[in-house]
Structure 1
Amino acid sequence: MEKKELQYIHSFEEYVNEFINTLIAYSPKLISAIFILIIGLYGIRLINRMVKKIMLKNEFDPTLSRFLANSLLWALRLLLFITVISRLGIESSSFVAILGAAGLAVGLSLQGSLSNFAGGVLIILFKPFRVGDSIEAQGVIGTVNEIQIFTTKLLTSNNQTIFIPNGILSNGVIINYSLQGMRRADLIFSLSYDTNIKVAKDIVMQVMQNHPLVLKTPEPSIVVKNLTDSAIQIGIRPWSKNEDFGNMSSDILEQSKDAFDKAGISIQPFVREVSGE
């Protein structure tokens, strides 16, 4: 062999020996780090399971329970990761500084997502609504299907799923129809000026009193809503439980119309005034 080739072989052998010696010297740290990682992952899973059972036993709000469990899970994982890299000989202080700088950069680029995250936390903590409530927000009416960290999922009456970002949801107006347990309908009939108002009110009151879904307390009421150029508008205000509201409102409208027809009371059609040329 040439002298140059012998030098290459000698250098390669030195590198291999150095690598083996380094691996032998470093193996206790590596083995202990792997051991800590395995035990830590098992312990985190066990702690997370115990926390969920405790919150379930104490009847915590499901959304809050899920949020706290996930937050604890990621906090413990981050702590375990720092512990493992420290065991490998990497300075944790340097890593934390790098992580902080990276977090700042990510935070600046994800301001909208952080706003939604903060909104989700506010919704979970202050509970303006819960899963299963019927709400109106951002021009949408639906039943709350799930409260996530960044969005809230609504299910509309026609089975459409709508996701609303928590940032704008927490800062906007929210109408919770389920919070009080019952709801009042505001129905309007336009009747002819030939109608005897007292007779019409008695007819509608009888319809509401006979309907099984209309609550006795608070009592239903009927008022003269408006006197337009073409009709008398009466407002019909029955109360029902939240879950009966849709069926009750539809029934009252239908049965009132039938009762008016039998009594010979004319419902005034809507008249749009059109100016002639």
Structure 2
Amino acid sequence: MTRSPGFDTSVAHQARMYDYLLGGKDNYAADRAAIDAQLQIYPDVAFAARANRAFLGRAVRYLTAEAGIRQFLDIGTGIPTAGNTHQVAQEIAPETRVVYVDYDPIVLSHARALLISHEAGATDYVDADLRDTPAILAQASELLDFSKPVAVTLIAVLHAIPESDDPHGKVARLMDAVPPGSHLAISHMGTGLLDSETQRGLENHSGRAMQQRLTARSREEVARFFAGMDLVPPGVARIEDWRPAPGADAGQSVLWGAVGRKP
């Protein structure tokens, strides 16, 4: 089993930094200092966090309302905030079932909030690392029926997995476990979205200040996660440009986003 990083509040963590950007309170001085340093490199970092959350909401609404999905496997859940996957999905289809997966102790401490489901549906929480796919699938199968379509969501988590841990292979194994009609939704820190100096600055900063060194990937590398799948239009796009809602905030994210269907 893959060992997750230990709980160390003196080193910034992606989930807690994201919480700080979204106005949460489950973060520490190191997380806030890391964000302050990021803002010097990339002033739109707060916009990117909000845009990522909005992308999750639009993707889940599409998957529930248009694709007819009633089961979600949300890996890399992060600290709960408004508009969690089950809240968005169950507003449309109350019978939806959602399994959340994360290894962060702070997320675990909030598991009860994630488990408050509509009475017609159900939610569960799995304490596991994305890299331990057998454990995730085994525990998720206690609530989800893998003979029926499942939406796997990997929102702003794959860029924390280095190439040495074979992220494309991990995603392929997850999608091999679900039937045709299942979907995959991803947002991912990308190359080709910012000038090269800003890109290098963000990657170097993550290596110095965070538990996870983030690995940005190109549009083509992100598209590889959807190998053998049909991409939902507009395909791989900036998250703010993926089926955007009218009147959305203006800004420029550094994240690719896409949704695909397993035929």
TM-score range, shorter chain: under 0.3
TM-score (norm 1): 0.18
Structure number with the higher helix fraction is 1
TM-score (norm 2): 0.19
Larger Rg: 1
Greater RCO, 1 or 2 (C-alpha within 8 Å, sep 6+): 2
